[in-house]
Amino acid sequence: MNFLDALHTSSTGLTAQRLRMNLISSNLANINTTKTEEGGPYKRKDAVFEAVKPLNNFKDVLNSQINQHLTEVQVAKIVDDTRPPVLRYDPDHPDADSKGYVAFPNINIVEEMVNMLSASRSYEANVTSIKTTKDMALSALEIGK
């Protein structure tokens, strides 16, 4: 694996974790959203990642056959949470049903903060990997002096 491939792999990890942090932020921002355009309360969203071989051109196809370990991170899909909404009794709420219950998103703040911490640490690990790769490339250039 050369320096540019290592940088590319880490950069795809950065992009994936940034998307994950954006989804978590959206989940937290919509914790009290009881009505969406689709109808019903907001549904928590989560990203599903997959490792794929980069196949942008012939060179990438050839490199994937030579170096079987070269992969990049890609978002396979964004899924909605299937847990049922939380019902709270609030007959004065405009979205209350006939019995006075309001359906709120089933979002746990603690779970979202743990996910945010995990995504943040993964992002930091990719930044460290990029910095280390850059330092190795600079060291290799220093040898040639």
Q: pLDDT tens digit string along 44-73?
A: 999 999 888 766 667 666 666 666 666 788
Asked if the structure places residue 102 within a domain, the reply is: no
Return mean pLDDT, the chain: 88
pTM above 0.85, yes or no: no
**Whether 67 contacts 6, CB under 8 Å:** no
d(CA 121, CA 38): 33
Asked if the structure places residue 16 within a domain, the reply is: yes
What domain count does the chain have?
1
Q: What is the dihedral of CA 69, 48, 124, 135, to 10 degrees?
A: 20
What pLDDT is attached to residue 39?
Answer: 86
In terms of DSSP bridges, do strands 101-104 and 72-80 run parallel, antiparallel, or are they unpaired?
Answer: unpaired
What pLDDT is attached to residue 101?
Answer: 95
Asked if the structure places residue 7 within a domain, the reply is: yes
CB atoms < 10 A from the CB of 100, how many? 13
Asked if the structure places residue 99 within a domain, the reply is: no
What pLDDT is attached to residue 27?
Answer: 96
Asked if the structure places residue 92 within a domain, the reply is: no
**Whether 119 contacts 21, CB under 8 Å:** yes
Asked if the structure places residue 122 within a domain, the reply is: yes
**Whether 96 contacts 107, CB under 8 Å:** no
**Whether 14 contacts 33, CB under 8 Å:** no
What pLDDT is attached to residue 102?
Answer: 95
- By residue range, what is the domain housing residue 111? 3-31+45-80+107-143
Q: What is the dihedral of CA 13, 18, 20, 22, to 10 degrees?
A: -170
What pLDDT is attached to residue 47?
Answer: 94
Q: pLDDT tens digit string along 19-48?
A: 999 999 999 999 999 999 988 899 999 999
Predicted confidence (pLDDT) at residue 145 exceeds the cutoff of 90 = no
Asked if the structure places residue 94 within a domain, the reply is: no
